Amino acid sequence: MIHVHIWGLEMAGIQKSHLAQTEYSFSLAEISNCCRVPDDTIFILVAEGVLNPRGPTRDEWRFDTGDLGRALSAIRLERDLGINPAGAALAIDLLDEVQQLRDRVRLLEALVFQR
C-alpha cells in the first residue's frame, strides 16, 4: 500500500516548493523479508519499542518506512556491535533526537540568515 503526502513550508513570507514524500506501508512478512530476519526478530523490536506498528493484532500490523529504517538500524547495531535489543532501541531513539535537533537548527539558521 502506498500513501503519498504533499507538504509545503512557508518561512518568512517566502513559499518554498512543495515536496512529495512517498510513504510505504509494510506487513509483518514484508518488513521481515526486507530486513532478512525472521518474524521473531521483528516481534522483539516491537516489544523493545524500536518499532511501532499500526493495527490491533500481529496479523494486522502495518509498518511505515520509518519503521523499516529503524529496524535495519537496530539489526545492524545488534549484528555489528553486539548491542542487545534494548540498547539498540535507546541508541536509535537518541539518533532520532539528534536528527530532529539538527533539522531544527537548519530551520532556525534559515530563518535567521535569510534576513
Model pTM score: 0.72
Residue 109 clears pLDDT 50, i.e. is over it: yes
Per residue in 46-57, pLDDT (tens digit) is: 999 999 999 999
Backbone φ/ψ region at 112: left (φ over 0), alpha (ψ -120 to 50), beta: alpha
**Cross-strand pairs, 5:** 21
Which CATH fold topology does 2-113 show?
Multidrug-efflux Transporter Regulator; Chain: A; Domain 2 (1.10.1660)
Helices (H) and strands (E) in the chain, counts: 4, 5
High-pLDDT (> 90) share of the chain, %: 69
| Distance in angstroms (rounded) separating the CA atoms of residues 29 and 4 | 22
Please provide the average confidence, as pLDDT, over all residues in the chain: 83
Query: Where are the chain's structural domains?
Result: 2-113
- Rounded Cα–Cα distance for residues 103 and 17 (Å): 18
Stated length of the chain: 115
- Each residue of 80-104: pLDDT tens digit? 999 999 999 999 999 999 999 999 9
